[in-house]
Structures are given as C-alpha cells and as structure tokens.
Amino acid sequence: MPRIPFPDIEAAHARVREAFEALKPPLNIFHILVHAERNFRPMMELGGTILWRQELPGRDRELAILLVAAISRAKYEWVQHVPIARLVGVKEAEVAAIEALRLDDPVFGAAELALLAFTREVVEDTRPSDPVLAALRTHYPDRQVVELTIAIGFYMLMARVMEVTGIEIDPPAGESLLSSLA
C-alpha cells in the first residue's frame, strides 16, 4: 500500500499535466513526482537525457542502474529496468549476478568489473577510491565517467522517492517508456 497518495493530476499546473499526459505509460513513479511540480519537468528532461543523449553506452548505463536498484533494495526500479537492460544487450547471467551482488562474477569483462566497482563505491561511500576511479578511467573517457556518475545519482534519487512513497510496482514498461522519454 502506498505510503503517500498520488496528487490530483487535474489540480496540477497545466504544463505539468501536459508533460505527465505525454508519458506513455503514465507510470506510478511519474504520478507521485507530480507532487513536486517545479521539479517534475526538469526531472523528466534529465531522465530522458540520461536514457537517450549520453555518450555512455546504454548497456553500461543499465548495468549501473541495476546495481543501484539492487544495493538500494528498490524493487520498483529493478522491475522497470531489467527489461530495459535486456533491450540494450545485458545478458540474463549478468542480471542474475547483479541481483545476487556477485560483482566479481566471470560473466563480466574488465570494463564492466570497473564500472560495477565504481558504481558500488559511489552508492555506498559517495567518493570512490582512487584505484577504483583509475580502473574505470582506463576503460571510459572522462565524459563518460561524469555521465555515469550523473546516472548513478539520478537513479539513487529515484530509488529513494520510490521507497519513501511506497508506490505500487507497475508492470514493466520497457520499450514504451524509452519511447515516451525520447
């Protein structure tokens, strides 16, 4: 049962209503974010930018998002992003390894291991260690390191909104969600 009820969409500012109604499907996470009317559109724009406009490959982004969800115990985020991860090439064995927090699993290559170690340290410690950051930088240019950090932070924020509000889990939206945020 939700811990915070949804706001009345009809009472929201017209620009927020318009942006909300453009989201297909209108997932519960979007509905609860309407409470934060002034943040709603910028958050949707940032989320869309992370999903569509970063130089960081989608597969790498989704590995990080899945790890954020697993560490945060954010089931909603997990349910929504596993299908997206599959769409961008994440293998079932990789999903299972992240879910079990087996981040040294041989299913991952050197770049993925560096990305997962970095993500874990950012989530758990905020500042990654110098060796972990250096290892990541051997596989990713600085632009992608910063983009990855932004993606991690955004999905940490979303996980916390989901868990604080206790929204009910929607069926996975996958491809349709990606299309509406493009």
pLDDT of residue 57: 98
pLDDT of amino acid 178: 64
- Between 118 and 180, whose confidence is greater? 118
pLDDT given at position 84: 95
Residue 68 vs residues 14, 28, 63, 71, 121: alpha-carbon distances, Å: 33, 19, 9, 5, 10
Report pLDDT digits (tens) over 92-133.
999 999 999 999 999 999 999 999 999 999 999 999 999 999
Using pLDDT thresholds of 50, 70 and 90, give the confidence band for residue 142: very high
| Res 181 pLDDT > 70 | no
Considering all CA atoms of the chain, what is the largest pairwise distance in Å, rounded to the nearest integer? 52
Cβ of 24: how many Cβ atoms within 10 Å? 12
Q: Report the percent of the chain where pLDDT is more than 90.
A: 91
Q: What is the pLDDT of residues 61-92, one digit of tens each?
A: 999 999 999 999 999 999 999 999 999 999 99
Question: 52-181 belongs to which homologous superfamily?
Answer: AhpD-like (1.20.1290.10)
The larger pLDDT score, comparing residue 182 to residue 13, is at 13
Domain ranges for the chain, please list them. Answer: 52-181
Residues in CB range of 56: below 8 A, 6 or more apart: 140, 144, 147, 148, 151
